[in-house]
């Protein structure tokens, strides 16, 4: 899946992490990278957790009023990812599950970025500008 400028939030740390998540999701469906699938799935699991934590720190320090809601979205996705990962481990034919994981990760990220992360970024960047 392709990262586009329309996904940028304007918060450099968040944007760089989002780009890396998209890059790693692409590895899952790249036939030439199939030897890296388990490594990539594990990387995604830990990187998503780190990214969510980093975002939530920014939410807390900026007193973001939707912190609890946003954190719940992160928790729900993490749970869903763990379920998909379990399905992948148990599946005799792993390719369809990989496609589901890729679709879920990229689809969720796209929607989450466009709606929730951009909303936070507007709040955060305004707060940075005004110093309040």
- Per the prediction, the chain carries an average pLDDT of 89
Asked whether residue 2 carries a pLDDT value surpassing 80, the answer given is: no
pLDDT for 46-74, tens place per residue? 988 999 999 999 999 999 999 999 999 99
What percentage of the chain exceeds 90 in pLDDT? Answer: 52
Alpha-carbon distance of 95 to 83, in angstroms, equals 16
Gyration radius from the chain CA atoms = 16
Q: Residue 22 CA to chain centroid, in angstroms?
A: 8
Nearest to 71 by CA among 84, 53, 46, 44: 53
pLDDT of residue 32: 58
Domains of the chain: 5-30+37-130 (1.20.120.50)
What's the number of CA atoms in the CB half-sphere (13 Å) around residue 43?
A: 15
Asked whether residue 9 carries a pLDDT value surpassing 90, the answer given is: yes
Three-state SS string across the chain, please? CCCCHHHCCCCHHHHHHHHHHHHHHHHHHCHHHHHHHHHHHHHHHHHHHHHHHHHHHHHHHCCCCCHHHHHHHHHHHHHHHHHHHHHHHHCCCHHHHHHHHHHHHHHHHHHHHHHHHHHHHHHHHHHHHHCC
Average pLDDT over residues 101-106: 83
Asked whether residue 1 carries a pLDDT value surpassing 70, the answer given is: no
Q: pTM score, two decimals?
A: 0.85
pLDDT of residue 130: 85
pLDDT of residue 126: 93
Query: pLDDT class for 33, splitting at 50, 70, 90?
Result: low
What percentage of the chain exceeds 70 in pLDDT? Answer: 95
């Amino acid at each position: 899946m392709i990262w586009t400028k329309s996904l940028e939030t304007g918060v450099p740390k968040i944007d760089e992490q989002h780009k890396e998540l998209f890059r790693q999701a692409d590895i899952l469906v790249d036939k030439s990278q199939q030897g890296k699938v388990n490594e990539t799935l594990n990387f995604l699991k830990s990187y998503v957790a780190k990214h969510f934590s980093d975002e939530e720190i920014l939410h807390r320090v900026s007193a973001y009023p939707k912190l609890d809601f946003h954190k719940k979205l992160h928790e729900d996705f993490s749970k869903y990812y763990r379920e998909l990962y379990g399905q992948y481990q148990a599946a005799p034919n792993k390719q369809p599950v990989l496609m589901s994981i890729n679709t879920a990760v990229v689809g969720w990220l796209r929607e989450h970025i466009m709606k929730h992360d951009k909303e936070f970024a507007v709040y955060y960047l305004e707060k940075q500008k005004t110093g309040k």
